[in-house]
Structure formats: structure tokens, C-alpha cells
Amino acid sequence: MQKNFGSLDRREAVKMLLADRGDLLVISGLGSSSYDLFDAGENAGNFYLWGAMGGAAMVGLGLALAQPKRPVAVVTGDGEQLMGLGSLLTVAAKKPGNLSIVVLDNGHFGETGMQQSHSGLGARLEVIAGGAGFHSVTEIGDLESIAAFRRKMRNFDGPHFARIHISSDHVPRALPPRDGVFLKNRFREHLGFAVT
């Protein structure tokens, strides 16, 4: 089994991605990506998916279309994105300038026993995103490149796609709130919508 798919610590990678996040809104995909987003700092502009496997990019698209003046990032894993590959075509066809899809790729299904994923077995998600129609595609293997991509996420010239190679090493659990109604109301309140 290929263990060292990437060398980046996933928690450090996401912290670097979200440093000085300003008004960035973030959707995280089911699994470790939600733990990483929470660990990087609780924020009412975070929406953690605890289900909806394969749907993170589409939740991000609906949000990005509704909030065109806010930068929106989807932070998800290779397994989650692999289950919704069609959504890359849908995002690319719609071309929301404020949306970035960031895949934390460790080449494995980390939540289910570390089986190798299609990515670990050779699929190249950044090539698939390019083929789907993304004009801005980045493959990232170090923190400096994440810092550079962080600026891109705010330039409204997207949609951007980034595949970040991360290590599959174990990190401690960091569990965000799981109540979906709470997360929804907190997020909408953050955007100025009254909870009625």
C-alpha cells in the first residue's frame, strides 16, 4: 500500500489555506475535511457536511451563485470528490468566478480503513477538472504554493480547482458541531438572514 502519497500535514495545509480568510465562506466535505476546517478555527462562515457524500462541490455552487460578492471555497477529500465527479462539469459549465474547489488528496479513503482511492491508484483529479472545463487548475505539494493559491481564491476570476497532496498520516480527531439545523441557522445569520 502506498502510504506516503504526499508530505503535507493536512491540518497545517488547511490552516495555511484559511489564514487571513476575511469574508471567505467555506463548505467542507464529509469526513476528515470537516475536522480539518473545524481545527483551523470555528467560524460562522463555515458549513460542515456530515453527510451528502459527493455533494460538497454542488453545495458550494449553490452558495456561490447566491452570494456572488463573497468568495466561496469548498474543502473536501479525494474520496468525496470522486463520488461527485459530474459536479466538476456542472461547476465548470456555470463558471462562478467566486468559487474554489480544493481537494485534500491523500490517495486513500481515510475514514473507512485507509483503502487506496482511485486517486491513489493513479487518477489525476486536476486533469479531470481541466477536462471538465476548469481553466484554473493547480497541483500543490508544499505550503508556499498553498499561500499563493490562497490569494487566488479571492480574485473572483474562478472557478479555481486545486489538488493538494497531503500525507495520509493519522491526526487527532477534531469534531465540529453535528446539528444540521444549528449549522444552517448560524450560517444564514452570519449572512444577515433572520432566523424566523
Partner 1 sequence: MAVSTADDVTSRDWPLDIYHSLKTAGVSQLCYVPDAGHSRLIQLSHADRDIKTTVLTTEEEGVALAAGAWLGGDRAVLLMQSSGVGNCINMLSLLASCRLPFLTFVTMRGEWAEFNPWQIPMGKATQQALEIMGVTVFRLEKPDDAAELASAAASLAFDSDQQIAVLISQRMIGRKKWTETK
* C-alpha 17 chain-centroid distance: 10
159 binds partner 1 (CB under 8 A): no
175 binds partner 1 (CB under 8 A): no
x/- binding map, residues 51-80, to partner 1, per CB under 8 A? xxxxxx-xxxxxxxxxx-------------
Residue 53: Cβ within 10 Å count: 15
Q: Which of residues 15-34 bind partner 1 (CB under 8 A)?
A: 25, 27
Q: Which is nearer to partner 1, 13 or 64 (CB)?
A: 64
Sheet holding 72-77, edge to edge: 46-48, 25-28, 72-77, 99-105, 160-165, 136-140
Q: What is the DSSP string of 31-94?
A: THHHHHHHHT---TTEEE-SS-TT-HHHHHHHHHHH-TTS-EEEEEEHHHHHHTHHHHHHHHHH
174 binds partner 1 (CB under 8 A): no
Supply 11's cell numbers.
Answer: 491540518
Least distance from C-beta 122 to partner 1, angstroms? 23
188 binds partner 1 (CB under 8 A): yes
Using the contact rule CB under 8 A, the part of the chain among 9-17, 122-130, 154-162, 186-194 near partner 1 is: 186-194
Q: Which of residues 85-114 bind partner 1 (CB under 8 A)?
A: 86-87, 89-90, 93-94
d(CA 177, CA 93): 33
134 binds partner 1 (CB under 8 A): no
Q: Which is nearer to partner 1, 1 or 93 (CB)?
A: 93
Give the E-state strand segments of 106-181 in sequence order: 108-109, 115-116, 136-140, 160-165
Least distance from C-beta 91 to partner 1, angstroms? 9
Residues in touch with partner 1 (CB under 8 A): 25, 27, 47, 49-56, 58-67, 84, 86-87, 89-90, 93-94, 180-181, 183-184, 187-188, 191, 193
